[in-house]
Amino acid sequence: METPSIVVVGGGASGALTAIHLLRLARTRRTPTAVTLIDQHGRHALGQAYATTDPHHLLNTRADRMSAVEGEPGHFLSWARATGLDASGTGYLPRAVYGRYLREVLAASAEPPARALHLITGTATGLEGDHAVRLADGRRVAADAVVLALGNRAPAPLPGTPAHPRHVADPWAAGALDEVGDGTPVLVLGTGLTMVDVALTVTRAHPGTVVYALSRRGLLPRAHPPVPAAPVPVTFPDGPLRVADLLRVVRQAVRANAGDWHGVMEGLRPRTQELWTRLAPGERRIFLDRVARYWEIHRHRVPPASAAALAELLASGRLRLLRGGLVGARPAGAGLRVLAEVDGTVRELDVGWLVNATGPGADVTSDPFLAGLVSAGAARRDALGLGLDAGQDGAVLDATGRPGERVFAVGPLLRGGLYETTAVPEIRAQAAALAPRLLEAVRVPRSRLTA
């Protein structure tokens, strides 16, 4: 009997964690299984977040939560210590270190007797039924099941802003920031975690660089406390919830905890997906419109060291926060002249670089591969347009709402159904739950197209 083949499209953390759990389970069960991980940039196990080489780009999650193996919470920490790093469970290691860890765990998962991991660098352009994945260069990869792990979409294009060598439309593209730290002023659209990375990188590359960070509310991510807060249990009423209920209960919990919201956030963290599923679609929309930005800055915090570096940049005037919106930009000299509405007044700023750090674009159809799946009826957008519609087990729903038996999704693509589905602890749990489901799905092989 031919070895069943599971193909994972997207080789970032979601794809790697899926492959790791699949290979480990296949080995435990002595079930020969071939796992193919396809990544368009060859950034297998690194993806968007862990491909950085800047040692000042730190994990924003403490080390004892970043294990790549569900059920083995100390796995990352043990690896870090074994490689000679002075790591503590509550510390924040460089993201580049984490990328190395994921790569090594992935490689180790494929050791004999499984010996069944294939890494392909190529761009998936379509599915042939659910039997094969088609690549842009004409190759076809046979599949008994497919996992979509394409991560986040590139940021949505900026209004009134032409393509220009000094307009960085996707700061996570490989090498996108290499030239930016040349000492000329940088305008970053967005004031979230991506802006933090950009500001730290370009000001270290050239200490004279001034970074303008522009967003509607000018809100910066909060910092993790130096000593992690213990989780505070938060009790919600049973049944369907409204956003107003969430806010009321959370505010009460913060008050009861003497104003310490960090502990409340820790208490909420493992429950966010369940709470999200208890909001009706209209309530979810209200959350996105009115609460999400505040949620993001409290939930996705920066490590104390990054917070200190940011404070120093702000105090020295090398980072300037602007509240407002971009009107447009046009070429001017070697750089760009940016028109922005700041505190109600339109201002012109001459900058060397403009960086789009507005966060992931929501529209899955901006990606040709996903657009093809949607137009072929093999997948559909979720009701909020944040990603793909899927069942609880990640099975992708087709245009009629029927779950695919052999096409699944993990990670950020499931944001509409789960909301918090971008951090490693959540993705790891999905990967662990999906592995037995996938092995079951491919247990009965069927005739498939060959590569």
**φ/ψ of residue 352, rounded to 5:** -80, -30
Which lies closer to ligand FAD via its Cβ, residue 95 or residue 167? 95
By C-alpha distance, which of 42, 91, 85 is closest to 65? 91
Least Å distance, CB 271 to ligand FAD, is 17
Which residues of 40-191 form beta strands (DSSP E)? 117-121, 124-128, 132-135, 140-142, 145-148, 167-168, 186-189
What is the nearest approach in angstroms of ligand FAD to the Cβ of residue 40? 4
Which tokens in the block code for residue 36? 């193919």
Q: Is 171 in the site for ligand FAD (CB under 6 A)?
A: no
Quick one: CA torsion of 299, 383, 146, 29, rounded to 10 degrees? 60
201 binds ligand FAD (CB under 6 A): no
Q: Which is nearer to ligand FAD, 130 or 197 (CB)?
A: 197
Q: Check residue 59 for interaction with ligand FAD (CB under 6 A).
A: yes
Binding status of residue 124 toward ligand FAD by CB under 6 A: yes
Query: In this structure, what DSSP letter does residue 159 have?
Result: T
Residue 123 vs 365, nearer CB to ligand FAD: 123
Q: Does 67 bind ligand FAD (CB under 6 A)?
A: no
Identify the residue among 76, 276, 369, 408 touching ligand FAD (CB under 6 A): 369
221 contacts ligand FAD (rule: CB under 6 A): no
* 43 scored as a contact of ligand FAD (CB under 6 A): yes
Site map for ligand FAD, 131-160, x if CB under 6 A? ------------------xxxx--------
Q: Tell me which H or E stretch contains 219.
A: none
Question: Residue 172 has what DSSP assignment?
Answer: T
- How many residues in the shown chain lie near ligand FAD by CB under 6 A? 32
Residue 211 or residue 254: which is nearer to ligand FAD going by CB? 211
Closest by CA to 441, choosing from 143, 150, 141, is: 143
Shortest gap between Cβ of 418 and ligand FAD (angstroms)?
13
Q: Output the CA torsion 386→388→389→392 (10° steps).
A: -100
Q: DSSP assignment, residue 376? A: T
Which of these ranges, 20-28, 59-67, 275-283, 373-381, lies near ligand FAD under the rule CB under 6 A?
59-67
Helix (H, G, I), strand (E, B) or coil at 400: coil
Alpha carbons within 13 angstroms on the beta-carbon side of residue 372 total: 11
Contact residues: ligand FAD, CB under 6 A? 9-15, 38-41, 43, 47-49, 59-61, 123-124, 149-152, 193, 197, 369, 411-412, 422-424
